[in-house]
């Protein structure tokens, strides 16, 4: 994807909208809703991460040299998915059960 192309700008817009929506939801929604949202996002991140490797295999472009060493984005994706799945409320505000 070329930088600042239409798909690139659309992806940035989706990121901004969902980022702001996530902050709003975390501050306003009840705990079960936040946990369900966080786990859904964890599944989505893990599926996207694994899907990239699957697409490389299916397209015949997977290689040990390029795909096997974990990149920083791979580490961030796995860490984010694990953190979102094992959600703990560490806020200092009032309980929202």
pTM of the model: 0.73
CA pair distance 77, 62, nearest whole angstrom: 19
pLDDT digit string, tens, across residues 11-22: 899 999 989 999
pLDDT digit string, tens, across residues 32-59: 999 999 999 999 999 998 998 899 899 9
Residue, of 62 and 91, whose pLDDT is higher? 62
Residue by residue, DSSP assigns 15-58 as HHHHHHHHHHHHHHS-HHHHHHHHHHHHHHHHHHHHHHHHHHHH
Q: Which two tokens stand for residue 64?
A: 């040990």
């Amino acid at each position: 994807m070329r930088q600042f192309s239409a798909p690139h700008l659309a992806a940035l817009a989706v990121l901004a909208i969902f980022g702001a929506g996530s902050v709003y939801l975390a501050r306003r929604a009840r705990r079960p809703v936040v946990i369900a949202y966080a786990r859904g996002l964890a599944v989505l991140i893990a599926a996207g991460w694994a899907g990239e490797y699957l697409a490389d295999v299916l397209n015949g472009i997977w290689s040990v040299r390029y795909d096997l060493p974990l990149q920083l984005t791979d580490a961030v994706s796995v860490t984010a998915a694990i953190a979102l799945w094992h959600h703990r409320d560490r806020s200092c505000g009032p309980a929202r059960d």
